[in-house]
Structure 1
Amino acid sequence: MLAGATIAEAQTTAWKPVGDKIKTRWASQVDPAKPLPEYPRPQLIRPGWQNLNGLWDYAITPKTISDIPPATFDGKILVPFAVESSLSGVGRTVGRDSLLWYRRMVPFSAKLKSEKTLLHFGAVDWECDIYVNGKRAGSHQGGYDPFSFDITPLLVKGEQQEIVVRVWDPTSDGPQPRGKQLKQPRGIWYTPVTGIWQTVWLEKVPTSYIESTKNTPDIDRNVVTVSAVAQNAQEGDILRIRAWDKTTMMSEKEVALDATAELPVVNTVLWEPGNPYLYELTVALVRKNKVVDEVRSYFAMRKISRKADAQGIQRMLVNDKFVFQYGPLDQGWWPDGLYTAPTDSALLFDIQKTRDMGFNMIRKHVKVEPARWYYHCDRLGMLVWQDMPSGDLGNQWESRPGVEGKGTEKDRSSLSESIFRREWKAIMDANHNFPSIVVWVPFNEAWGQFKTEEITKWTEDHDPSRLVNSASGGNFHYVGDIIDIHNYPMPVMPAPKLYGKEQVIVLGEFGGLGLPVEGHTWQEKDNWGYQTFKNADELTQRYEGFMNDLVDLIKKGLSAAVYTQTTDVEVETNGLMTYDREVIKIPVEKLEAVHGKLYNSSLVEMKK
């Protein structure tokens, strides 16, 4: 070690991305001393927190039932990048027969020495056990939802606290949700993601504190309903909830802990694409007129619904107006970070470019993003369709509505079904407050699709404030709000007279126009697209023709369409951008212009 250098400096200089695959421009901006330093939870903000991202010890060991950490570790891993990724500094696979261990001695900040300390994980794929100073703090299953533990009783005297994480992830060898991960990636299936892949952090809270909040706008009555869950509350405690328009307090309500407050919104400004107006919110736990705990949040006044047009065809409405929703299928993968964007600027880049291209919607495909991604969508006014990550595949798929008896429901085990239900509920709960999310999608195609009618009804009952697309391109049961067909490469739609009277008609996937760009591909040859072109001019001409086709379909009854896809991913070169985000294959200005014709409100006459 160089004279004068600290241990931390020596460790960070030893870290570097691994592998020979392409990387994004943001890879060079990753600071191993403080990767992804931004506050990770924009919908529930407190000032006292400590980011634990950075270099941890790691080891990969054979899978056993032992909860004893290994005596020695294999090296350093950069959290929160999955162990298989380049930015982790490791680039190793794990698999169902092995365990991944993490360990870090945490310098415990003096500002965190309060009544309670919470240890938060944004996401860990898939099953993990957490130990603090040698004692078990808790366990969690689910690769896409945040979780936390109260570690106060496990803390020891001194400035250093040991945190150990034990992870098991069977990827495609298990029934759990895993999206596009495959242990042997190929085609539309990508590299496994194991372990911590979102921010790890500590938070100080008082003994009695607000654990979560829930807000739902109602533009018909110009109110927002707000409730909260408090831990360790005392008899007589109340919630004091205030809604703010910028720095001006609009309304205030005090309610019992188990009650829901209705706060009037004065001179309501509606949130929608092109006008992403956000209001501030504060929620306080009050005891004997003294604030015990308070969190900051935000909300938007937005409504998603459906209604028949003049032809009697169901249309998808935003704030009671027909708005054709058009966006890319967004996989959310990175060549250097896999599930995890290298920086917050990178995370924002994809959304910003999507908006610049003239899209007003994003379908987040069989993956859930960190909270900051939805926050950026809220700020930029992007509508989001949120998929449930798929898993436990194997049933037969019928891609056309009206073809009865060919598609099959997956006969899931009780374990598989309970995993699905628990994680889908956790995903919906964790992301309820983001106004950008307007559609829940429980199933994609027939990827583990089961008990479709029951799951759809359960999803609708759990969140009646959004529309439900029961099976995007999947086996059709004519339940939920939407009937959704997939077709490559041409845009088509289900027959409006047969299917559009009861459900909104959408084209959930089409396109897939491939163009591998030399120097910007995952591998040099054998790249893949649904239809591959030799140059950008041919690609652009084909794409513009598709937009003209969409205009005709909108007039006939189409309410939304999803183009495959935002970026190339590994060997799949169907992206509007290359995987490293360096080349946009069709000029942004041309895309914005050609998309503009899709949003002409005169295309559809609504029923009076």
Structure 2
Amino acid sequence: MCSASLGRAVLPLLALAGLTAAATPYAPQPPPLSTDWTEDVGTHPWPEYPRPQLQRSQWQTLNGVWEYRNAESAAALAVPPFGESLDTEVLVPSCLESGLSGLQAQNTIYSWLSTHFSVPDDWQDQRVLLNFGAVDYEATVFINGERAAFNRGGYFEFTVDATDFVNFGDDNELLVFVYDPTDGEDAVIPIGKQTLNQRHIFYTPCSGIWQSVWLESAPKEYITKLDLTADMNGEVTVIVHSASGNGDSVEVKVENGDETIASHTANADEHFTFTVDDVKLWSPDSPNLYNITVTLGDDEIRSYTGFRTISKGTVDGIVRPLVNGEFRFLFGTLDQGFWPDGIYTPPTREAMVYDLQLLKDLGFNMVRKHIKVENALFYRACDELGLFVIQDMPSLPLVEPNADQQAEFARQLEVLVNQLKSHPSIMSWVIYNEGWGQILSTNPEFDLTDRIRELDPTRLVNSVTGWYDHGAGDYSDNHHYANPQCGTPFYSSLSSPYDPERIGIQGEFGGIGHNVSIENLWNVQAAIDTIDETYELDATLEVWNYRSRTLLTELRDQISRFACSAAIWTQTTDVEGEVNGLMTYDRRLKRVDEQQWKDDIESLYRAARGRGETPDERVSDRGVLRY
């Protein structure tokens, strides 16, 4: 018997022999603040199929109660605890620092997580694919005592071909070693707003397996990735990536309900296009989606798309963002994606969609996903609701990276674009936020912008949002609190003056705060002590709404008078010590006077319509549309 087979045989026997003490049973810990969904999580979280744009029929979730052990140091990786019961049970997916994890731990830099699973006997002639939505930050995966995979990058999905490691119809041990330094150990990695030392606008970190884990079966020749976009003229652009890379024949069908309205046969692993007639376009007003079926040999996957075109062009002498060939004013919120009970992991899909539905109901047509990447169901919800997404790259800490750290940042930026570029709701990519991790001596944003355009020529790029703008990208972006300075002839000392060769956007403004009682606050004294650092604090909700109307009126005037084309209000919800959300952190208190906000947002769109909607007779410099 080979050593690998011996390991597979011995591991279950060790577990059955009870050679290690049983793990402490799972129980959620009371977080500093709960939500209305905290009690709904249970021990079978996120049961939905996690990847809606490449969906297979045969799958099983591995979400649920796993086991956890603090690994203390990197040296632990050399001695994996095969066949052992770990110290305590933990919920997956979850952030180890969250109450829902059952740990509410701190400084979880090195961790072991384990579970056991079975593979159906009737999968034996198939490939067994083990999928992770996201593990923060590095994951080393062992299956039945053998090292099966390694992944670096805390925001991105990865797949392990587990076929050669599993026992069919029997018990299998899955063991994951996680290394997540966040901003400790002199690490300079993409972390967004996470920090080991929480302070006002920097929050509790997220370590571990924080997005779904699932198994699925696929034929020996299977689809690994689907890149698919569809434009306003009905042209569908596709690359079907295959496991073998042999360029075998694939068929793509476009479906409207149960009816196939177009089909096309081509080769896998090659770029191809075809046209669908008489399509209904996707936009915030009418988010029409079409189902897609892709077949490669015996492999069939389900997906979807929306037909729309994003570009820029000149309208009445001003460079504007164009949606399906027309100027559309874009207004959204800064959306941090933090939760008091789950940190980075929303408690349920319903909770996650609640935030987006509130924005849609108020009249917002866009959301800026702020230096975080969400699970695929978030983007599916934006696709379905009709909310554009301006997607940030998770930022580095507030230090300048060295050459290796910058190269890793650039690699993960490419992963971000490739992972999300088939979602119709995403309309722009953001590289740098307020100079965090930006190398000012060499201006790498120019090369990074060019690279994004190579990977995805169908969207706009906001190379630098807020500060240190050297002229790269499609936007001239300003951050200013609380008042807007959007495409105006006046600007603050940190932001650059408006550049009329690019789109004028107010990348952040607002941020006005209103303190609430402890029932709606993140009950951590260090966070409460920073509430006074809020840009502006308003004594009552009436005053907060009065000030909101004042700022939105200023924005409307800048739309009417100057070159403002898009704006982002800070923010969707409170987060820890920040109290400037449309809602409190627990989502139980809405600050907004809803009718007032609906009226004020509609007035922004009216002002934009008054500035003209038809592009001038010219060629768009994005090379997408001709006018």
After TM superposition, the score normalised by the length of structure 1 is: 0.91
1:313-392 matched pairs, under 5 angstroms:
313-392=318-397
- What per-residue deviation string (whole Å, max 9, x for no partner) do you get for residues 498-531 of structure 1? 7443100000000111112211000364224211
For 1:337 and 1:112, the matched residues in 2 are separated by 34
Is the 8 Å Cα contact of residues 243 and 263 (structure 1) preserved in structure 2?
no
Is the 8 Å Cα contact of residues 121 and 199 (structure 1) preserved in structure 2?
yes
Is the 8 Å Cα contact of residues 279 and 299 (structure 1) preserved in structure 2?
yes
1:343-492 matched pairs, under 5 angstroms:
343-394=348-399, 410=400, 412-450=401-439, 451-492=444-485
SS at match of 2:405: helix
Is the 8 Å Cα contact of residues 313 and 496 (structure 1) preserved in structure 2?
no
Counterpart AA for 1:490: N
- What per-residue deviation string (whole Å, max 9, x for no partner) do you get for residues 454-486 of structure 1? 212222222110000001102111111001110
- 2:623 is aligned to none
Counterpart AA for 2:567: A
- 2:504 is aligned to 505
1:115-514 matched pairs, under 5 angstroms:
115-156=126-167, 158-173=169-184, 174-219=187-232, 221-232=233-244, 237-286=248-297, 292-310=298-316, 312-394=317-399, 410=400, 412-450=401-439, 451-495=444-488, 499-514=498-513
SS at match of 1:25: coil
Counterpart AA for 1:420: F
For 2:454 and 2:473, the matched residues in 1 are separated by 11
SS at match of 1:568: coil
Is the 8 Å Cα contact of residues 513 and 536 (structure 2) preserved in structure 1?
yes
- CA-CA distance at 1:67 after TM superposition: 3.1
- CA-CA distance at 1:246 after TM superposition: 2.0
- 1:40 is aligned to 50
| Structure 1 unaligned blocks of 5 or more | 1-10, 287-291, 395-409
CA RMSD of aligned residues (A): 1.8
Is the 8 Å Cα contact of residues 254 and 261 (structure 1) preserved in structure 2?
no
For 1:522 and 1:515, the matched residues in 2 are separated by 14
My pick for the range that moved more, 98-107 or 521-530, is: 521-530
- 1:403 is aligned to none
Q: 1:577 aligns with which of 561, 583, 590?
A: 583
Is the 8 Å Cα contact of residues 114 and 204 (structure 1) preserved in structure 2?
no
- What per-residue deviation string (whole Å, max 9, x for no partner) do you get for residues 425-474 of structure 1? 11111101100000000110110013122212222222110000001102
- What per-residue deviation string (whole Å, max 9, x for no partner) do you get for residues 54-108 of structure 1? 111100022133332245522000000011001001111235xx41100111133
**Residues 207, 562 of structure 1: alpha-carbon distance in 2 compared, 3 angstrom cutoff:** same
**Residues 316, 448 of structure 1: alpha-carbon distance in 2 compared, 3 angstrom cutoff:** same
- 1:520 is aligned to 520
- 1:15 is aligned to 26
- What per-residue deviation string (whole Å, max 9, x for no partner) do you get for residues 101-156 of structure 1? 00111133446444210110000000110000000011000011100110111112
**Residues 146, 194 of structure 1: alpha-carbon distance in 2 compared, 3 angstrom cutoff:** same
- 1:398 is aligned to none
- 1:24 is aligned to 35
SS at match of 1:45: coil
- What per-residue deviation string (whole Å, max 9, x for no partner) do you get for residues 17-49 of structure 1? 2135111110110121x1110000000111100
- CA-CA distance at 1:234 after TM superposition: 5.6
- 1:400 is aligned to none
For 2:263 and 2:195, the matched residues in 1 are separated by 50
My pick for the range that moved more, 140-149 or 493-502, is: 493-502
Is the 8 Å Cα contact of residues 482 and 536 (structure 2) preserved in structure 1?
yes
Is the 8 Å Cα contact of residues 481 and 504 (structure 1) preserved in structure 2?
yes
Counterpart AA for 1:224: V
- What per-residue deviation string (whole Å, max 9, x for no partner) do you get for residues 364-405 of structure 1? 0000000000000000000000000001422xxxxxxxxxxx
Is the 8 Å Cα contact of residues 246 and 268 (structure 2) preserved in structure 1?
no
For 2:430 and 2:148, the matched residues in 1 are separated by 33
Identical columns (%): 38
| Structure 2 unaligned blocks of 5 or more | 1-21, 491-496, 617-627
Is the 8 Å Cα contact of residues 488 and 558 (structure 2) preserved in structure 1?
no
Is the 8 Å Cα contact of residues 372 and 393 (structure 2) preserved in structure 1?
yes
For 2:245 and 2:545, the matched residues in 1 are separated by 60
Counterpart AA for 1:438: M
Counterpart AA for 1:40: P
- 2:99 is aligned to 86
**Residues 72, 279 of structure 1: alpha-carbon distance in 2 compared, 3 angstrom cutoff:** closer
**Residues 20, 209 of structure 1: alpha-carbon distance in 2 compared, 3 angstrom cutoff:** closer
SS at match of 2:107: coil
Counterpart AA for 2:427: V
Is the 8 Å Cα contact of residues 128 and 168 (structure 1) preserved in structure 2?
yes
My pick for the range that moved more, 447-456 or 435-444, is: 447-456
- 2:604 is aligned to 598
Is the 8 Å Cα contact of residues 365 and 386 (structure 1) preserved in structure 2?
yes
Counterpart AA for 1:592: K
